[in-house]
């Protein structure tokens, strides 16, 4: 008796078993799974993201192994890798869940067309979004560029049904695999501190979600979400990026328990959908401003101010706290992301792409759509962007959202003895207070890298010139 030919399940940004439509269909056959480290990707995962991927693939391999399914690792051009695998195993079909990055879309089209010609069926599915980016259109059949009507339209649609984990039948023959360690993802600089903050993998994702739902996360979300010292948000973003949970699972689970009360939280998933919608329709978003007039913006080039920003040495405590939190944990509170991003672009006049790149390398949730859209939003050159004259005053933002300086003191310990109001602007503190606090500006903590009033005026002039 000849053995049934296997299907190939190609894992990408869907590193889970539950609610995985590609897995659901691949499981109609005996199958094996592959993860390909794509060496052609123009936006390969950055350092912190690679750490996450390494851990998450380890967890996925283990849970597939427990169900008798082999997860193999290969590196290279995915088309070549899949060709080799399909030939080696005489595969009967290839299945994956869609990615929406411009490079991935073109790559996958090419792969699909190659295998279709070869008579090997390829099928792709939506495993990452509530709605496909092309399924939502304005009345004039174009893409949305304003969030509120997009959000309204999104809520009027039906989201996919959840797919349970089917019975899985592994292919009996072993397929050769590179070791996960050989993909070059394993922890470098960040390993230890990231390990303390996160648990990558499907199990860790569910623990996060359940914790958020069982605690007062959803009920208190609207009240707490803007305060970085409160644990007021879900921390699900890296799990969502790598598809350890689907937005559909989060949506159903949360609205089943909380109904309309969950909307302020679910609205954030709406922003995620909006970002993917924009990236799909404007594929140059990661590098080019959506508003072309910004091509003429008089950006500065300054390696010193960029370094001060990256290392949390700007002299503005909230900005420094955020940048240090990012370095230490691979994440940063959303409110603080807005403040540090605005500071880079408007106070330092450094191009938003520099900030985008740094976030790409250091965030565990680095996501091409969310990152590019958020940076353009803050810079004022994106869709539904913050008006150009909105220039956050970092000291006022910090007074408003971290008034007692709890968050600042956690990440900028050299200021921990200062209290309101000087914790927000140490350069305004009388000398005796600084002395008592053991702070010598310029030595133990920097003077502000740029004066706020000067920076504000300069940015407004530059922006008006557009
Ligand atoms: C300059 C800048 C860069 C950013 N870069 C990224 C990035 O690379 N990856 C990323 O996932 N988010 C990014 N964000 C959006 C946001 O800061 C994070 O999604 C959020 O802080 C993650 O924390 P959470 O999971 O606790 O979010 P929650 O508040 O619990 O929200 C739930 C989920 O909704 C999504 N979400 C929340 N806010 C946004 C938003 N503004 N835009 C899109 N989706 C959102 C995330 O998937 C998040 O996990 C960026 C924001 C800014 C201002």
Q: Are 327 and 338 contacting, i.e. CB atoms less than 8 angstroms apart? A: no
State CA 324 to chain mean position distance: 18
Q: Is ligand 1 within 6 A of the CB of residue 376?
A: no
Q: Are 298 and 465 contacting, i.e. CB atoms less than 8 angstroms apart? A: yes
**What's the CATH number where 67 sits?**
3.40.50.620
Residue 275 alpha carbon, nearest atom of ligand 1: 43
Instruction: Clarify whether residues 262 and 323 are in a common domain.
Output: no
Whole-number Å distance between alpha carbons of 54 and 135: 33
Q: Establish if 187 belongs to a structural domain.
A: no
pTM: 0.97
DSSP state of 346: I
Confidence check: pLDDT of 2 > 60: no
* 153 — pLDDT class (breaks 50, 70, 90): very high
pLDDT of residue 388: 74
Pocket test for ligand 1, best of 236, 237, 253, 361 (most atoms within 8 A of CB): 237
* 1 — pLDDT class (breaks 50, 70, 90): very low
pLDDT of residue 217: 87
CA–CA distance from 54 to each of 58, 201, 276, 364 (Å)? 6, 10, 24, 12
Nearest protein CA to atom 16 of ligand 1, as residue? 334
pLDDT of residue 193: 84
pLDDT of residue 122: 96
Short-list 138, 144, 146, CA closest to 384: 146
Q: Establish if 165 belongs to a structural domain.
A: no
Q: Is ligand 1 within 6 A of the CB of residue 371?
A: yes
Nearest protein CA to atom 19 of ligand 1, as residue? 237
Instruction: Clarify whether residues 374 and 415 are in a common domain.
Output: yes
Instruction: Clarify whether residues 424 and 312 are in a common domain.
Output: yes
Instruction: Clarify whether residues 298 and 443 are in a common domain.
Output: yes
Q: What is the pLDDT of residues 417-458, one digit of tens each?
A: 999 999 999 999 999 999 999 999 999 999 999 999 999 999
- Rounded to an integer, the average pLDDT of 222-243 is 96
Short-list 297, 324, 330, CA closest to 311: 324
- Rounded to an integer, the average pLDDT of 354-372 is 98
Q: Considering 104, 127, 150, which residue would you say is the last residue of a domain?
A: 127
Q: Is ligand 1 within 6 A of the CB of residue 233?
A: yes
Nearest protein CA to atom 44 of ligand 1, as residue? 272
Q: How many CB atoms lie within 10 A of CB 353?
A: 19
Instruction: Clarify whether residues 28 and 121 are in a common domain.
Output: yes
Q: Is ligand 1 within 6 A of the CB of residue 370?
A: yes
Which domain range does residue 317 map to?
A: 292-464
- Rounded to an integer, the average pLDDT of 253-257 is 94
Q: Computed from CA positions of residues 48, 51, 57, 60, in that sequence, does the dihedral angle turn out positive or negative?
A: negative
Q: Considering 127, 146, 175, which residue would you say is the last residue of a domain?
A: 127
Confidence check: pLDDT of 269 > 80: yes
- Rounded to an integer, the average pLDDT of 90-110 is 98
Instruction: Clarify whether residues 234 and 368 are in a common domain.
Output: no
Distance from Cα 237 to the centre of ligand 1, integer Å: 6
Domain count, the chain: 3
pLDDT of residue 3: 64
Q: What is the pLDDT of residues 23-32, one digit of tens each?
A: 999 999 999 9
Calculate the average pLDDT of the chain: 95
Residue 125's DSSP bridge partners are 97
State CA 234 to chain mean position distance: 13
**What's the CATH number where 199 sits?**
1.25.40.80
Q: Is ligand 1 within 6 A of the CB of residue 231?
A: no
Q: Would you call 182 helix, strand, or coil by DSSP?
A: helix
Confidence check: pLDDT of 62 > 70: yes
Instruction: Clarify whether residues 351 and 241 are in a common domain.
Output: no
Q: What is the pLDDT of residues 163-221, one digit of tens each?
A: 999 999 999 888 999 999 999 887 666 777 888 889 999 999 999 999 999 888 898 99
Instruction: Clarify whether residues 460 and 334 are in a common domain.
Output: yes
């Amino acid at each position: 008796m000849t053995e049934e030919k296997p299907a190939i399940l190609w894992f990408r940004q869907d590193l889970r078993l539950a609610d995985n439509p590609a897995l659901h269909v691949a499981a109609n056959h005996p199958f094996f799974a592959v993860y390909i480290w794509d060496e052609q990707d123009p936006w390969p995962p950055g350092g912190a993201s690679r750490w996450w991927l390494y851990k998450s693939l380890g967890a996925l391999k283990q849970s597939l192994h427990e169900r008798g399914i082999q997860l193999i690792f290969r590196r290279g051009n995915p088309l070549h890798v899949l060709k080799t695998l399909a030939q080696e195993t005489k595969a009967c079909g290839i299945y994956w869940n869609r990615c929406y990055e411009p490079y991935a879309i073109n790559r996958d089209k090419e792969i699909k067309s190659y295998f279709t010609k070869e008579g090997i069926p390829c099928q792709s599915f939506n495993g990452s979004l509530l709605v496909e980016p092309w399924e939502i259109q304005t009345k004039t059949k174009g893409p949305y560029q304003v969030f509120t009507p997009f959000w309204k339209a999104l809520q009027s649609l039906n989201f996919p049904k959840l797919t349970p984990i089917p019975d899985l039948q592994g292919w009996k023959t072993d397929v050769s695999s590179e070791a996960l360690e050989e993909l070059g993802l394993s922890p470098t600089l960040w390993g230890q501190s990231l390990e303390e903050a996160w648990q990558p993998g499907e199990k860790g994702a569910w623990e996060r979600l359940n914790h958020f739902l069982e605690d007062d996360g959803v009920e208190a979300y609207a009240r707490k979400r803007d305060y970085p010292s409160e644990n007021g948000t879900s921390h699900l973003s890296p799990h969502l990026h790598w598809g350890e949970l689907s937005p559909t699972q989060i949506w159903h689970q949360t609205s089943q328990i909380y109904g309309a009360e969950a909307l302020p939280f679910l609205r954030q998933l709406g922003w995620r959908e909006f970002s993917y919608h924009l990236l799909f329709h404007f594929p140059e978003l990661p590098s080019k401003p959506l508003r072309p007039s910004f091509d003429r913006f008089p950006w500065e080039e300054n390696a010193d101010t960029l370094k001060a920003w990256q290392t949390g040495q700007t002299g503005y405590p909230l900005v420094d706290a955020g940048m240090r939190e990012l370095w230490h944990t691979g994440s940063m509170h959303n409110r603080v992301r807005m403040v540090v991003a605005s500071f880079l672009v408007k106070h330092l006049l450094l191009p938003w792409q520099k900030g985008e790149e740094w976030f790409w390398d250091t965030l565990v949730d680095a996501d091409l759509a969310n990152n590019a859209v958020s940076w353009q939003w803050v810079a004022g050159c994106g869709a539904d962007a913050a008006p150009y004259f909105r220039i956050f005053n970092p000291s006022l933002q910090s007074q408003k959202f971290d008034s007692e300086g709890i968050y600042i003191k956690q990440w900028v310990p050299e200021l921990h003895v200062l209290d309101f109001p000087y914790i927000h602007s140490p350069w305004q503190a009388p000398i005796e207070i600084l002395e008592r606090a053991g702070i010598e500006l310029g030595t133990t903590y920097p003077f502000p890298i740029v004066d706020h009033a000067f920076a504000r005026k300069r940015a407004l002039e530059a922006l008006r010139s557009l």
